Amino acid sequence: MKLLSLRLHHLEMPLVAPFTTSFGTQTVKRCFLVEARLETADGQVVTGWGENVALDRPVYSPEYLDGAADVVRRWLAPLLFAADDLTAETVGHRLHRIVGNQMAKASVEMAVLDAQLRAEGRSFASYLGAVSATVPSGVSVGIQDSVEATVGVIGGYLDEGYARIKLKIQPGADIAHVAAVRREFGDDLPFQVDANAAYTLVDAAHLRRLDEFGLLLIEQPLGEADIRQHAELAKLMHTPICLDESVVSAEAAADAISLGAAAVINIKPGRVGGYLEARRIHDLARAHGIAVWCGGMLETGIGRAANAALAALPGFTLPGDISGSDRFYAEDIITEPIRMHDGVVDVPTGPGFGVEIDPERLERFRTSVVDLTP
Ligand code: OSB
Ligand code: MG
């Protein structure tokens, strides 16, 4: 295929409620969608959409939204326009000499992939080798101001039917909240916590207190670069350690697995440079008997639909952060929002990612469009 045009649609979408993690509180979601128009070898012109998941500020990873847009504009787009035989499978190779910037790369690869699959009339789930028509739907719950609020908010999600609860924790909002949730909802609730790198190995004795609550896992207790320290922590506590921030590539996943730093891996396509790298990590983890699940970055319906397909691969044995669109947004930018029902989300079956942009909402939530076509 040949890339004909590339446009970035910058969006600002209000969240239904503030979302607090150990790195701050978010009340709006800012992101950009990548719209790529390509011409296939037989002259068909197709459009594909990708989503960039970088946060406003470089607090989760080194990337941040405006930086990612700049990287796409200055460094990635020219490499893609220079290719005469572009395919989704070769985007990574074309961009290989640009170091890091996984979220920027993932967003353009996504758009090419969506276009390619639409040209073939093939769904992303079929392309990946998905083995299930629905995926269990977990929800990520932000840090609340009080233990009572934590219990109340989680109770609301359980009433809606979510299959698994993940609670954000940080020093000062951890053991008491977890204990209250277990007391209120019992030991059978599939329940895990995410620290977003808020602790250090010095906190090992404190973190070990979580062991008595039978959590599915603790996600990224230590820093992104602390893969070896996670392996040390794993020897000091029983709760399975899951890595998120640390796993930035298949190579990092291999290191974490061989060091014993990760019993579980949260796979986020944006964080690792795209859905194809995400699948490689899935394959690697599966071969090593390491469980994986699909994380989220408050995606719009585009990324949410793609994540549902990814999570339908056989190694995704734990429920992901794949909630309904209404978990974060009163209105999504796709025509049919992603719905959680009976504790699951349906894997889209239409061509490409299987969802359509609603032009009216796209325009309403859009703050600007940048055309990168030379
Ligand atoms: O650590 O998983 C995380 C959101 C932004 C940045 C990091 C994380 C998260 C979430 C939200 O937990 C998951 C979701 O999109 O539902
Ligand atoms: Mg996380």
Chain segment 213-222, per-residue pLDDT in tens: 999 999 999 9
Q: Which of 21, 170, 194, 304 has most ligand 1 atoms within 8 Å of its beta carbon, as the pocket-test mutant?
A: 21
The protein residues having their C-beta less than 5 angstroms from ligand 2 (an ion) are 194, 219, 244
Distances (CA, A) of 52 to 191, 239, 270, 306: 28, 32, 7, 13
- Give the chain's domains with CATH numbers: 2-121+359-367 (3.30.390.10), 126-346 (3.20.20.120)
For residue 176, how far is its CA from the centre of ligand 2 (angstroms)? 20
ipTM: 0.99
User: CA 272, 278, 281, 285 torsion: positive or negative?
Assistant: positive
Q: Is 124 left (phi over 0), alpha (psi -120 to 50) or beta?
A: alpha
Class of residue 232 by CB neighbours under 10 A (exposed 0-12, middle 13-18, buried 19+): middle
Q: Which DSSP letter does residue 348 get?
A: P
- pLDDT mean across residues, the chain: 98
Q: Hey, which residues does 293 pair with through a beta bridge? A: 266
Residue 23 pLDDT grade (very low, low, confident, very high; cuts 50, 70, 90): confident
Of the candidates 50, 18, 52, 16, the one whose C-alpha atom is nearest the C-alpha of residue 36 is 50
Ligand nearest to the CA of 265: 2
Q: Whose CA is nearest to atom 1 of ligand 1?
A: 196
Q: What's the average model confidence in pLDDT over 179-204?
A: 98
Give pTM, 2 decimals.
0.98
Q: Which residues are catalytic?
A: 168, 268
Q: What's the pLDDT tens digit per position in 281-312?
A: 999 999 999 999 999 999 999 999 999 999 99
Residue owning tokens 């896992």: 217
pLDDT of amino acid 101 = 98
Please report, for residues 5, 128, 210, 226, 269, the alpha-carbon distance to residue 276 in angstroms, rounded to integers and kept in the order given: 23, 9, 35, 25, 8
Q: Give the alpha-carbon dihedral of 18, 21, 24, 30, to 10 degrees.
A: -60
> Residues with beta carbon inside 6 Å of ligand 1?
60, 140, 194, 196, 244, 295-298, 321, 323
Give strand pairing partners of 47.
37
Residue with tokens 């070898």: 41
